[in-house]
Amino acid sequence: MIPQAVLDEWYPVGMAAQVGPPPGRETMLLGQPITLFRDSAGIRVTGPDGDLAVTVAYGHVWACLGTPAHALFPIPEATQEGRRLVDCGVVRVKCSPLRAVENFLDIAHFPFVHTDILGAEPHTEVARYEVQIREDSDEVWATKVHFYQPQAAKSAEGGIVTEYMYRVPAPTASVLYKTCPARAGEWDVIGIFVQPLTEELCDVWPWMALFDDETPMADLIQFQQMIFLQDRSILENQIPRLLPLDPGMEIPTQADLTSVAYRRWLKRKGLTYGAQMVAA
């Protein structure tokens, strides 16, 4: 049985620009077969029991199998003038959708998984940062995260100390804000929208809102695809595949405070699809 709280959330199910006329795109959401297509009414998503609630935002189609508990989370930067919005396509990963989000929140792996791009030895230390579960917006936030990066973005030249902020506004989505190499004082915005196909299989849809008018679109997409393919080599080799929510199965450190808060938030809200509740 899938908990009602899980069914009542929004999940990404595809890129809006790719949705065509019937028969459309067949895919899955929370183990159920669904179909996306475009007709005179706009973009529709149908499941075994008929039409699903649909929202189109941030280049992607979002659907809810139950009754939406709230509107889709806001990303104000999506409409900020001067930003380039980039749909990065999809990476299918054989892992829990929650593990895919947790990996996105993690910076300590940069020197080892994204070597010489997002991190490099000996610059491995993760300084203390701030984490909170914001009660007003019901989101997990990490702020004042600093990390040395050899090539923080496609537009970066040489190493810089990058500042990050992370937020988790939905169980399988995260948005990060990082130092913008091209425009001081602004943040580049990168999201990952994770489609839970099953508890152990997901489609990851990265999306970006950048201040970068120079880099060709294909290069921006290629850069993000490279990063996520490196992550996939990790995500498909974690044991167990499900994300353990009970303490004892895994050992976090101070660098993992965002992940600790994310797990606590999921558990508190009963968002346990893709999670393991009892230590095996």
Partner 1 sequence: MGTEWVAVGLSRDLPAGVAMPALWQGRELAVWRSASGKLSAWNDRCPHRGMRLSHGFVRGETLACIYHGWVYGTSGSCIHIPAHPDLVPPATIKAETFLCVEAGGVIWVGAAGATDTPPEFAGYVPLRSVATQADAAALAQASGLEQAAQGLLGSTAAGGVCLILSTSQTKTTIHALAAKEADRVALSRWLDGVVRRAEERVLA
- Residues at the site binding partner 1, with contacts judged by CB under 8 A: 106, 108-109, 111-113, 121, 124-126, 233-234, 237-240, 244, 249-255
- Nearest approach in angstroms of CB 232 to partner 1 is 13
- Nearest approach in angstroms of CB 174 to partner 1 is 17
Q: Tally the residues of the chain.
A: 280
Nearer to partner 1, 68 or 150 (CB): 150
Q: How far is CA 207 from the centre of its chain?
A: 9
- Alpha carbon distance 72, 39 (integer Å): 23
Nearer to partner 1, 215 or 272 (CB): 272
Nearer to partner 1, 130 or 219 (CB): 130
Nearer to partner 1, 127 or 217 (CB): 127
Nearer to partner 1, 217 or 279 (CB): 279
- SS3 (DSSP) at 259: helix
Number of C-beta neighbours around residue 75 at 10 A: 18
- Nearest approach in angstroms of CB 96 to partner 1 is 11
- Nearest approach in angstroms of CB 200 to partner 1 is 14
Q: Measuring CA to CA, how many Å separate 107 from each of 58, 72, 93, 142, 234? A: 24, 26, 20, 11, 14
- Alpha carbon distance 25, 13 (integer Å): 10
- Nearest approach in angstroms of CB 125 to partner 1 is 6
- Alpha carbon distance 111, 236 (integer Å): 19
CA-nearest of 23, 36, 37 to 203 is 36
- Nearest approach in angstroms of CB 272 to partner 1 is 18
- Alpha carbon distance 179, 201 (integer Å): 32
Nearer to partner 1, 45 or 131 (CB): 131
HSE-up (13 A, CA, CB side) for residue 66: 14
